[in-house]
Amino acid sequence: MNRIQKIFSEDKKLLSIYFTAGYPAINDTVPILQELEKNGVDMVEIGLPFSDPLADGPTIQASSTQALKNGMTTRLLFEQLKDIRETVSIPLILMAYFNPVLQYGVEEFCAKCKETGIDGLILPDLPLAEYKEHYKAIFEEYGLVNIFLITPQTSESRIRQIDKASNGFIYMVSSASTTGARQGFGEVQRSYFERIAAMQLKNPQIVGFGISNAETFLAATKDANGAIIGSAFIKMLSEKGIDGIENFIHSLR
Amino acid sequence: MKYNVNEKGYYGEFGGAYIPEMLFPNIEELRLNYLKIMREASFQKEFKQLLKAYVGRPTPLYFAKRFSEKYNTKVYLKREDLCHTGAHKVNNTIGQILMAKRLNKTRIIAETGAGQHGVATATVCALMGLECIVYMGEIDIERQAPNVARMKMLGAKVVPATSGSKTLKDATNEAIRDWINNPTNTHYIIGSVVGPHPYPDMVARFQSVISKEIKQQLAEKEGREHPDYVVACVGGGSNAAGAYYEYLNIPEVGIIAVEAAGKGIHSGESAATSALGRMGIIHGSKTLLMQTADGQITEPYSISAGLDYPGVGPMHAHLYTSGRGEFISVTDDDAMRAGLELSKLEGIIPAIETSHALAIFKSRKFKEDDLVVVNLSGRGDKDLNTYIDYFNL
């Protein structure tokens, strides 16, 4: 059992944090991971910065631009993470746009993830059909969980297809938006959360986009198994740096 | 070999739809409906009427006598510069606005580089009474001020793209982000044969009116439908796709694509994608792309805002790698001189994009009896300031 699958077998609402590798400073990646684990975060998504992050709003875009300016590359990230499993044991997921992965070589990338102790991947612009046809076998060979997104507009039949192709969890985008665009949830989100809960999917669900504090974390995890905080965490990092992590995490639940 | 898109949305190994899930419902709706809608008799009727009465088609196929004498070959110019709004871009925006209406969309977004596509989109939105938002790089807003003013007069909202290089690539990113945030009422009118399938094919089909007319006009003038060569400039590649379309699968018609070398292919300031790019993903399409070893998209450069794009449509990527197309790149300097030369020889001031296509005759020699059609994609009014600065006019 992969670390991701294992953590979902525990009966708790998972708190997951996203941050961009190489931000605020180039060598912050490992200290941030250690600090997150120390403060009880259940899972982390490490963003590989990309020049053209289509699904991201201004906060994550700016962190990516800065991380690239700082000199972050795919090779450097793997180098920084090579001993991470000596100090960090929570599930780690890499979130990357597909082009940098394609240029590294999909198989080489997956092999390196396994060697490093990465448990799963979120590649938002790698569509389901391409994944199934060309890459599923590679992901499975290296024991990586591939995580797909669904949105309030995703049809029921497509959700079923995604559920079938998934083996870790499903990433529920709370509203049709780029990251960091909205705060809080309205009636549309509540009914979407309930609709998905009623579908009895085989994979657990984690809600992302629009979660920034204890109130939204609680609302998001009423039906779902956990929630992801990204832009709000990056904003905090920009203002307070690594020292601000402890207070931020403890304010959430 | 066939050079049209296949049923999976690919041209050879290029194309596809590499999009975030948030865009899937919109792209899927378009993919399932675009051919069906385009085949409807009522659609075709409305499209053709507007092209004729509003755009001013067919555009002339003009024999450039003095230009031909100078280069000792037979050159025809397809006068897309005479289209309403001054370039071929409007062929596509007319088609897509009719598509958007049939898909019940009420809000239109677009990206623009030189501003020609932005103006063409704002124009059809005014014509149909639809809300129009155009994303344009902050740098392009400065260097294409007249087109910004035209869009505003036409009732469009022009939103500056302030990320990255602040040019066409970034304007496209912002338009895509807008579409993610407005998933139900909005249609995105992409201006070139780029983006996720079905856009490259849909835009190429709307632009194919160019080569349909060339065939007919050449038959009248020369007694043959097929020239020896069709020449067009390529940024994303929509005017080229339209000019090549009817000839893609006719091997005796040579296809020549002209890219912007900027200050020289290896100067570090260039937009010659076929020479400098390798396969990658940009704006939802797998295509040739200028990028770092690490897969970060690099900033292109060209004096012409319309060619200032780090990728190329997947159809063109396939034409290049398969060897079907001959790809030539032209520097800023050569393009500017060619623009001035055409003005003096034929009394036609071309857009700087088009000037790139005209510049190849200096070094690419044709036989005396070769019949060469150059797609004169746009007129130079919008570039007057650049011409003035360059030549101290």
Q: Which of A55, A73, A98 sits opposite B281 (nearest CB)?
A: A98
- Residue whose token pair is 């979120």: A122
Choose from A95, A99, A130, A173 for mutation: most chain B CBs within 10 A.
A99
Task: Examine the domain organization and report whether B297 and B349 are in the same domain.
Answer: yes
Count how many pairs of residues, chain A against chain B, have C-beta atoms within 8 Å. Answer: 104
Tell me the nearest-neighbour CA distance from B322 into chain A, angstroms.
21
Specify if B10 maps to a domain.
no
Comparing CA positions, the residue from B262, B181, B34 lying closest to residue B173 is B181
Residue ranges of chain B whose pLDDT lies below 70: 1
Contact state of A177 with B22 under an 8 Å Cβ cutoff: yes
On whether residue B164 sits in a domain, the answer given is yes
Q: Which of B177, B203, B229 is the endpoint of a domain?
A: B203
Per the CB < 8 Å rule, is B296 touching A130?
no
Shared-domain flag, residues B103 and B160: yes
Cβ separation of B181 and A173 shorter than 8 Å?
no
In B234-376 the beta strands, taken as DSSP E runs, fall at 254-262, 278-282, 285-289, 325-331, 371-376
State the average pLDDT for chain A: 96
Q: B63 lies in which domain range?
A: 56-87+208-391
Q: Do B177 and A178 touch (CB under 8 A)?
A: yes
* Pairing of the two strands A226-229 and A205-208: parallel
Report which of A184, A101, A174 is spatially closest to residue A144, judged by C-alpha positions.
A101
Write down the pLDDT at residue B144: 85
Closest residue to A54, CB basis, from B16, B20, B280: B20
Q: What is d(CA A21, CA A62) in angstroms, rounded to the nearest whole number? A: 12
Q: Which of A10, A56, A133, A163 is catalytic?
A: A56
- Inside any domain, residue B373: yes
Boundary residue ending a domain (B203, B219, B254): B203
B351 located within any domain: yes
Task: Say whether both B336 and B266 belong to one domain.
Answer: yes
Q: In what order do the strands lie in the sheet with A92-95?
A: A145-146, A120-122, A92-95, A43-47, A14-20, A226-229, A205-208, A170-173, A149-150
Please tell me the distance from the alpha carbon of residue A53 to that of residue B34, in angstroms, as a whole number.
28
Nearest CB partner across the interface for A153, out of B173, B183, B293: B183
Q: How far is Cα A66 from Cα A63, in angstroms, rounded to an integer?
A: 5
List of chain A residues whose C-beta atoms are within 8 Å of the C-beta of residue B164: 51-52, 65
Closest CA to A179 of A32, A19, A68, A70: A19
Query: Do B108 and B177 sit in the same domain of this protein?
Result: yes
CB-nearest to A52 from B25, B279, B297 is B297
At B96, which CATH number?
Answer: 3.40.50.1100
Same domain? B110 vs B62: no
The domains of chain A, with CATH numbers, are 12-250 (3.20.20.70)
- Does the residue B154 lie in any domain? yes
Q: How many residues are there in chain A? A: 253
C-alpha span between B158 and B100 (Å, rounded) = 20
In a shared domain, residues B374 and B279: yes
Q: Tell whether the model's pLDDT for residue A176 goes beyond 90.
A: no
Report which residue type is found at A49.
Answer: P
ipTM score above 0.85: yes
Q: What is the pLDDT of residues A115-144, one digit of tens each?
A: 999 999 999 999 999 999 999 999 999 999
Measured between beta carbons, the chain B residues lying within 8 angstroms of A124 are 20-21
pLDDT at A179: 84
In a domain, B162, yes or no: yes
pLDDT at position B318 is 98
Annotated active-site residue in A28, A37, A42, A45: A45
At B152, give phi and psi (nearest 5°): -65, -45
Q: Which pLDDT band holds residue A182 (cuts at 50, 70, 90)?
A: confident
User: Which tokens hold the place of B139?
Assistant: 């740098």
Query: B360-391 b/e with 16+ CB inside 10 Å = b?
Result: bbeebebeeeebbbbbbbbbbebbeebbeebe
Give the minimum alpha-carbon distance from A128 to chain B in angstroms, rounded to a whole number.
Answer: 9
User: Is B7 a domain residue?
Assistant: no
Residue range B75-89, pLDDT digits in tens: 999 999 999 999 999
Q: Among all residues of B, which ones are annotated catalytic?
A: 89, 111, 377
SS3 label, residue A52:
coil
* Residue B21 Cα, gap to closest chain A Cα (Å): 6
Number of domains in chain B: 2
Instruction: Check whether residue B102 and residue B68 sit in a common domain.
Output: no
Give chain A positions within 8 Å (CB) of B159. none
- The pLDDT score that the predictor gives to residue A30 is 98
- Asked if residue B173 and residue B114 are part of one domain, the reply reads yes
pTM here is 0.97
B194/B272 same-domain check: no
pLDDT single digits (tens) A221-233: 999 999 999 999 9
User: Are the Cβ atoms of A52 and B282 closer than 8 angstroms?
Assistant: yes
Q: Which of B16, B21, B283 sits opposite A151 (nearest CB)?
A: B21
Handedness of CA A238, A244, A245, A248 (dihedral sign): negative
CB-based contact A228:A171 (threshold 8 Å)? yes
Looking up tokens 């007249």, which residue turns up? B146
A102/B24 touch (CB, cutoff 8 Å), yes or no? no
pLDDT-derived band at A181 (thresholds 50, 70, 90) equals confident
Mean pLDDT score across all residues of chain B? 96
Lowest mean pLDDT among A40-44, A53-57, A65-69, B368-372: A53-57
Model confidence pLDDT, tens digit, residues B155-199: 999 999 998 778 889 999 999 999 999 989 999 999 999 999 999
Assess whether B82 and B95 both reside in one domain.
no
Could you tell me if B382 and B243 lie in one domain?
Answer: yes
Residue B165 lies in a domain: yes
Q: Which two tokens stand for residue B231?
A: 């020449």
Tell me the per-residue pLDDT of A183-207, one tens digit each, with 9 for 90 and over: 778 888 999 999 999 999 999 999 9
Residue ending a domain, among B173, B203, B233, is B203
Please indicate, yes or no, whether residues B303 and B337 belong to a single structural domain of this protein. yes
pLDDT top residue among A148 and A10: A148
Q: Which residue of B has its CA nearest to A76?
A: B294
